[in-house]
Chains A and B, each alone.
Chain A
């Protein structure tokens, strides 16, 4: 439209002399895919790794081959535990930061504290080979998952994982 072009030119000329505020229309790519399942699997993995670490046969100090096997297996279990505790925290941070909306927090005021606990227990699970800390992480992640599915209007149930460590997990009724 001719009038619009003229006004556009006028604003363009003014832009050099005046500072206009900039309004943004888009930022990152919204995939819209959120699911606490990976965080739950990661927390279960942390529990499983602590169990494995406790079940690795203790080596005889005088047997270098046994000692090598022990250190090797322990190192692998510790590495997996570290990675999954961090992955669990990462997944929760993404859902909390990108998906959770003010009205969800209004409906579930305990949500921020649950996320805070997940960060703390995730850190503790990395620092110590402590089953209690690993279970505390899993329990908080399950609470988060139950709230997440409720925000989607999807009911949940609790069941023991059909694989080690056979601990309770919140599953959506899909």
Chain B
């Protein structure tokens, strides 16, 4: 997710939110192996009256995302990122 987030940064997120829009950054479970991932919503897909979210990393060359595992459903979303707190690299 470089440059938005770097290794070790803190993703301050909320589990309570009212909507998901294109451009939002979400924390969600990977449909492949259940790992917790952080990616940006690129597109909202309407599949049989259900909204699915096409997730893409900002760093496209290093991102395994919806281009590989497909769009995700709402139940996979854990939280919405409010902001990124940079890790203090001098600590």
Contact = CB atoms under 8 A, between A and B. Distances in A.
A25 B70 contact: no
Given A30-B67, A102-B31, A24 B88 contact: no
B77 interface: no
B36 A20 contact: no
B64 A27 contact: yes
A32 to B, nearest CB: 7
A63 interface: no
B88 A9 contact: yes
What bracket does the count of chain A residues touching chain B fall in?
20 to 34
Interface string B1-24: 110010001111000000000000
18 contacts: A7-B12, A8-B9, A8-B86, A11-B87, A12-B87, A12-B91, A23-B38, A25-B59, A26-B63, A26-B64, A27-B64, A30-B65, A99-B68, A101-B71, A102-B31, A102-B70, A103-B47, A103-B70
A24 B78 CA distance: 13
A127 interface: no
A10 to B, nearest CB: 8
A103 B91 CA distance: 45
A28 B91 CA distance: 29
B37 interface: yes
A136 B62 CA distance: 39
B67 A32 contact: yes
B32 to A, nearest CB: 8
B24 to A, nearest CB: 14
Contact of A24 (B36, B69, B87): B36
